[in-house]
Structure 1
Amino acid sequence: MKNQLVMLLLSLGVTLPAAARNVPAQDWPTFGGNVQSTSANPEPTGITAANLGHLVRQQIKIDGTVDASAIYLHGVSIHGAAHDAIFVTTTYGKTLAIDAANGAVLWNYTPASYQQVAGTRQITNSTPVADPDRQFIYAASPDGYVQKLTISDGHPVWRTAITLLAKREKMDSPLKFSQGHVVAVTAGYIGDKPPYQGHVAVLDGASGKLLHVWNSLCSDRSGLLQPASCPQSDSAIWGRAGAVIDPASGNILVSTGNAPWDGKTAWGDSVIELNPDATAMLGNYTPANTAALNTDDADLGSSSPVLLGGDLIAQGGKDGKIRLLSRKAMAGVAPHMDHELQIVSTPSGTDLFSQPATWDHQDQTWIFAADNGGTAAWTLEHGKLQQQWKNSTGGTSPFEAGGLLFVYAPAGGLNIYDAASGKHLTTLPCGAGHWNSPIVLQGHIILPEGNANAHAANGVLNIWSLPAGNG
């Protein structure tokens, strides 16, 4: 079946790198690869420890900075021809389709708001998501809209606003697609200037209709709020994975940032579990020192929840801690404070702004995390996290593929480690960035670079591939 698919792609004119001719064709349709955002690729990629030195880098200049991650679809029809295509959203809301083989920009969707926001502080760090039908993608823009775009030419099918105050409520995190719905979250901008409220918005993928909104402040009120109408502000939902979705139940899990907490209608610095359409809270957790977290700007929700299988969740924060939680213990609408199963330090004991990756390896669950001062790995053993290795090299959201761990350093360079031992294998040179993170599949490493906070209107997308004869 694999060879038939490769032959079909070649017959349609798709140019495959050498490595991709020997590995399965694959999609990477969402941040982390799946609704739970594991950021671990279980398929062969063609990239191994033995051939890292043969990788050839393309530096593609693009019309905007991508301070996020890319998605990838193989063999999709664009302008009547088949392409392995990369899709990214720039900080000012342009969404691009890029040919993975030659770096050509296949189409460029630019929202009407672009001229008003370009060069301003009103940015997005969002990653688009593909519809399972492979005919459409969904993308966010800093004007507060989500749009459905045709893969064939980037034409917008619908646009729906998920905030009434886009200058305060930021489109910060990846979009997700689950059970026919687009799931989006909102955050705030640097400085947390009020008013804004983090919320979860669920849209119908077919029509774009806004179906429901769960508000993390004034949570007794559904629908979009005029932010000034709620007496509390903040509670941003801004983790790098955005909403994390349980693939078995469709339940939505988010974590929130600094804000008041009362366990009733104000849910600052909390982990929240919602039902699939976000109409009901199913569980909640907040640390006992929630008031101090709010005062100290130590957001619990600087990272998204990590599903570890079964009953367990890991939640990192700006206070330098990773908390191991029980979903059963946080079940229900009554407030659940404290009662963590375990607390461990982030890799260097500093703020965790990245999304950990999880890897199922030799019947064990591994978790990898990187902060500004280090990278570390743990295994889950007897319901507790056991550290396996750590170093003092920081990074953004890690990515595992083929037993290799890929971690981008914001100061520049993509570090590659042996995932199980932590041995440093090589550093691929590239420029500096911020929250950018790589994906690895089908013979490619794909990594945007650049910092959204520089407010640039241009940027670079890196693609490393193996040359002919090294597959």
Structure 2
Amino acid sequence: MRNGTISHWIHTMPSWKISAQAEHSKEEVKVMIRRKCWLPVMVVFTLVLVAQFPLRVSGYQDAAAAAAPVKVDWLQFAFTPDKTANNTSETTINTSNVSGLQLLFNVALPAGDNPDGAPVLLTDISTASGVRDLIFVQGEHGHISAFDANNGAVIWSKAFGTGGTNNSAPAIDPNRMFIYVNGNDGFAHKLNVGDGSEVMGGGWPERTGGGKAASELTVAVAANGHTYLYAANHGQGHITTIDTTTGSQHVFNASCSQFPDVHNPTSCTSTGARPWARGNPYIASLDKFFFSAGNNNGNAWDGCTMWKESWLALPANGSTHISGGCGLPADSWTGTDVTVTVGHDQDIGSGGLTPLPDGLSSKFPHLGVNPGKDHRIRLLNLDNLSGHAAPGHQGGEVQTLSFSTGSLMRAQSAVWTNPANGQVWVFITGNSGTHGFTVDVDSAGNPSLNNHWNIQNGWTTSAVVANGVLFTSADGGEHTSTATLHQVQAINPTTGAILWTGHIDLFHWESPIVVNGTVYMADGNSGGFAGPGGHLRAWRLNNVGSPDFSLSASPSSRSINPGGSTTYTATVTPVNNFAGAVDVSVSSGLPSGATATSCTVTVPPAGSCVITVSTTSTTPTGTFQLTISATGGGMTHAATVRLIVTPPCVTATNGGGWVNTPLASQAGTFTAQFDVTPSIATIGGHVGISHGAQTAYTGFANIVRFTTTGTIDARNGASYSAATTLHYTAGATYHVRMAINIPTHQYSIFVTPPGGSEVTIGSNFAFRTEQNTVTSLNNYGAFVATTTASTLRVCNFTVQ
């Protein structure tokens, strides 16, 4: 055992256990170990560890349940650096009781920023509100948020590069102090876990070169004792390996590997070898990091500088070996039919590479399983990928299994060893569902994959195993909006029988984690596909933990004018048989001149109540974060919402450009209402709604127009039109109502003239063509097109 491992165990031991066993502080014990005054200390701690931490010692083999479960961290996608996705430390959930899982909480994620990866979790962390277990979720548009893992309360939230999308997820340093995020701004960020504050200096934030972050982060302690963070990005298909202590880094460019240690080399014109695997493993017994290079556009594979459609092994520090003008990895595998798979977009890397237990085969001590989009599953010899003991060759796989039942296999597999008989299983997921295989080895050491059961229930994301129970999420992917199942599933790994399901909403590549007797899943359609706002859900057995309750509040934002009022709904959900009255109120954040009502919810069952926030004419404009607190049974939980107080009127003038005003961010369906007063009857006035402040028509998704010919119409895709001809008069005020559906990119427009009835201007009009992929709206603008002196006044703008 390395000292780093022992130190981590000491760090994670409950403080009372350490103080009861020795008179030294944690830091003193660490110093003693480093000074090699280890004999008496190690004797004591060996006994303590065996007694208190049997599951941590058991490595990758399932163990019997301990009398008192030990809290476990889930530091990265697929649980461990090797991406085997098997939580052998779970002791609470098993095949006998998993059917008793019940919803613990369901909380909204940041508006307009659904995740596209899995959460990570850390226990017993000091925060401003006390010691908490934290679960972290990264949104595809750059938010990283920490939630209380027991009730879903938001602890902190940050954003990095909110433009573009990613398919990534964060990773936690093994020292438990920092969480890493591959941001949309082209940098990896290092944050303190307790409050989200960023570590600056010493190389941080670290450049990752831009391009979509397409894989979930890997963090590992290498054989040299250094901790490395591995970030995969598009662009030239580069892997950035960062030494988290020194801040130094290496860059491997899979499209132009002759240019090492530089992002986006100017002489590189090819971008095809982009990484797509959900997880890229670091394998400790080989001290190597493995990643896949994709098959997009660009030059053909050449085994020298372009590594399209290949699995590559790098030294732990991520360095490139230059030889004869080639930029070489430590090893590589490329199929003999690489031209065919590239031509048919049959990316072999998107199914990941999952190592099997070391020594399973005497002939091939280190094996990996690689499913792909080509309807095939490969067994690769990780010691010698191509059989030529060098990179740049083709073929050499141990087994290629055609498996059309699996269709396009594009998610991370999980590996499990059945403790009853030592049989190794691999669980492969993809477009058609979940598939169970055994890995069988003959007397000569030849391994083979054999299919035993299949669950054909649609696109299924990456699998995980916890204490002999297989967990997957079904009906995600690109077609989740037309699917109907949408559930987390618990499965008997040897029979394929579904033991439990938990409802979720639309999702893309998100996948569950299972730790400390709890199943967690973050959903929401993502990957560039529109859909409703995401949620973080948790399920737990009823008898786990003390009675408690969770609090959520919706919507996450409201917009009003000074003097107006709005409402929020607070929902209280009992946890572990909590029963009693819970008082709910706004405890902080109200602007001056604003008041809020309070309410009481009695549980069980789960219940909701409405809080009304009222402002006065003197309430200042701006964005305010309100803390809603719920108190009951001697416990208090909190949730945060935003109140945006907008100016009662904005005025656009001819020649003055667009006048922009921020709104509460909207990601689903909502209604915007406002009053418009044109000063002349030929004004060419426009009021539009957009994502962010805009300076041109093309930036607005929804526009109502007061034309220069004296009528009112609205934008419908590529042009303006009106279902009804409605003339307007100079100086008169017209009430406009827009019913907007962001997921379908349609909206309806209604106008009420002074003293008249509401008139339909357009029904189910299309968003402006340039905005037909927008996923959230948070701004409105006003503009006057005519050159004649005039004004367009917009008042009382609200969204509900």
**What TM-score range do you get, normalising by the shorter chain?**
0.7 to 0.9
Counterpart Cα distance in 2 of 1:172 and 1:454: 15
Counterpart Cα distance in 1 of 2:101 and 2:15: 21
How far apart, CA to CA, are the structure 2 residues paired with 1:135 and 1:329?
37
Corresponding residue SS for 2:452: strand
Counterpart residue number, 1:14: none
Select the residue among 219, 235, 252 that pairs with 2:273: 235
Q: Residue 190 of structure 1 corresponds to which residue in structure 2?
A: none
Stretches of structure 1 that go unaligned for 5 or more consecutive residues are 9-18, 188-195
Residues 94-125 of structure 1, C-alpha deviations (whole Å, 9 max, x = no match): 111110111001111122x32xx1xxxx1112
Candidates 494, 505, 508, aligned match of 1:431: 505
Aligned to 2:258: 220
Q: Deviations over 1:351-408 (max 9, x none)?
A: 1110001112232321101111121111211111122222212311111112211110
Task: Give the direction of change, closer, same or farther, for the CA distance of 1:145–1:400 in structure 2 (3 Å limit).
Answer: same
Which of 126, 134, 147 aligns to 1:98? It is 147
Matched-pair contact (CA < 8 Å) for 1:148–1:156: yes
Instruction: Tell me the CA shift for residue 269 of structure 1.
Output: 0.4
Deviation at 1:467, TM superposition (A): 2.4
Q: Which residue of 2 aligns with 1:375?
A: 434
User: How far, CA to CA, are the matches of 2:143 and 2:333 in structure 1?
Assistant: 37
Cα distance in structure 2, aligned partners of 1:349 and 1:38:
19
Residue matched to 1:286: 334
Residue 205 of structure 2 aligns to a residue whose secondary structure is strand
2:177 to 135, 158, 162: 135
Structure 2 runs not aligned, ≥5 long: 1-8, 18-64, 222-226, 321-328, 359-364, 442-446, 481-485, 546-575, 577-800
**Secondary structure of the corresponding residue to residue 85 of structure 1:** strand
- For residue 44 of structure 1, report the CA deviation from its aligned partner: 2.8
Structure 1 counterpart SS, 2:349: helix
Q: How does 1:13-52 map to 2 (within 5 A)?
A: 22-52=68-98
| Counterpart contact for 1:87–1:96, Cα < 8 Å | yes
Q: Relative to structure 1, is the Cα distance of residues 93 and 456 closer, same or farther in structure 2, using a 3 angstrom cutoff?
A: farther
Kept after mapping to 2: 8 A contact 1:5/1:25: no
* 1:273 partnered with 2:338: no
Q: Distance in 1 between matches of 2:15 and 2:437?
A: 37
CA distance in 1, matches of 2:532, 2:317: 36
Which residue is equivalent to 2:630?
none
Judge which range, 432-441 or 277-286, deviates more: 277-286
Q: Does 1:247 align with 2:284?
A: yes
CA–CA distance in 2 between the matches of 1:311 and 1:444?
32
Question: Are the structure 2 counterparts of residues 334 and 203 from structure 1 closer, same or farther at C-alpha, using a change threshold of 3 Å?
Answer: closer
- Between the aligned partners of 2:378 and 2:423, the Cα distance in structure 1 is 19
- Work out which of the residue numbers 340, 348, 360 in structure 2 matches 1:300: 348
TM alignment of 1:10-409, pairs within 5 A: 22-57=68-103, 58-63=105-110, 64-79=113-128, 81-111=130-160, 113-114=161-162, 117=163, 122-157=164-199, 158-163=204-209, 166=210, 169-179=211-221, 180-187=227-234, 196-209=235-248, 211-226=249-264, 229-241=267-279, 243-258=280-295, 260-280=300-320, 281-308=329-356, 309=358, 310-330=365-385, 332-346=389-403, 348-362=405-419, 363-382=422-441, 383-394=447-458, 395-409=460-474
* Two-structure CA RMSD over aligned residues (Å): 2.6
Q: For 1:274, what is the secondary structure of its paired residue? A: strand
After TM superposition, give the deviation of residue 318 of structure 1 in Å: 1.1
1:198 & 1:328 partners in 2: Cα distance? 24
1:290 CA displacement? 0.4
- Counterpart CA distance in 1 for 2:404 and 2:469 is 18
**Worse overlay, 174-183 or 331-340:** 331-340
Once the two structures are superposed, what CA deviation does each residue of 1:179-208 show, in whole Å capped at 9, x if it has no partner?
Answer: 312111113xxxxxxxx3111111121354
What is the one-letter code of the residue matched to 2:372?
Answer: G
**Which shows bigger deviation, 217-226 or 151-160?**
217-226
Residue identity matched to 2:306: A
Q: Kindly indicate which of the two structures has a greater share of residues assigned to strand.
A: 2
**Which residue does the alignment assign to 2:524?**
450
| Equivalent AA in structure 2 for residue 268 of structure 1 | K
In 1, distance between residues paired with 2:275 and 2:180?
19
How far residue 232 of structure 1 moved from its aligned partner, in angstroms, is 2.2
Query: Residues 142 and 348 (structure 1 numbering): CA distance in 2 closer, same or farther, change over 3 Å?
Result: farther
Q: Distance in 1 between matches of 2:144 and 2:400?
A: 39
My pick for the range that moved more, 93-102 or 426-435, is: 426-435
Shift in CA distance, 77/374, structure 1 to aligned 2, threshold 3 Å: same
Offset, 1:178: 2.0
The 1:46/1:290 distance shift into structure 2, 3 A limit, reads same
State the TM-score, normalizing by the size of structure 1.
0.88
C-alpha separation in 1, matches of 2:439 and 2:91: 26
Instruction: Output the amino acid matched with 2:405.
Output: S
Q: What CA deviation, in whole Å up to 9, does each residue of 1:239-276 have, x standing for no partner?
A: 111x2101223311111111521111111001111111
Change in Cα spacing, 1:55 to 1:7, as seen in structure 2 (3 Å) is: farther
Maintained 8 Å contact 1:347/1:374: no
Q: Which amino acid is 1:389 matched to?
A: W
Instruction: Provide the C-alpha distance between the structure 2 equivalents of 1:442 and 1:223, rounded to a whole number of angstroms.
Output: 40
Tell whether 2:464 aligns with 1:417. Answer: no
Q: Measure, in 2, the Cα distance between the counterparts of 1:344 and 1:6.
A: 51
In the aligned structure 1, how far is the partner of 2:264 from the partner of 2:145? 32
Equivalent residue number for residue 727 of structure 2: none
**Counterparts in 2 of 1:457 and 1:155: CA distance versus 1, 3 Å:** farther
Task: Give the deviation of 1:339 after TM superposition.
Answer: 2.7
Q: Find the aligned partners of 2:509 and 2:315 in 1 and give their Cα distance.
A: 29
* Counterparts of 1:129 and 1:318, CA distance in 2: 27
Q: Percent identity?
A: 29
2:378, 2:544 → 1: CA distance?
47
* Matches of 2:136 and 2:440, distance apart in 1: 38
Distance (Å, rounded) in 2 between the aligned partners of 1:47 and 1:434: 26
Measure how far apart 1:347 and its partner are: 6.9
One-letter amino acid of the counterpart of residue 302, structure 2: D
Q: Which amino acid aligns with 1:407?
A: T
Q: Indicate the SS of the match to 1:239.
A: coil
SS in 2 for 1:49: coil
1:318–1:6: structure 2 CA closer, same or farther, 3 Å change rule? farther
1:425/1:342 CA distance change after superposition, 3 Å: same
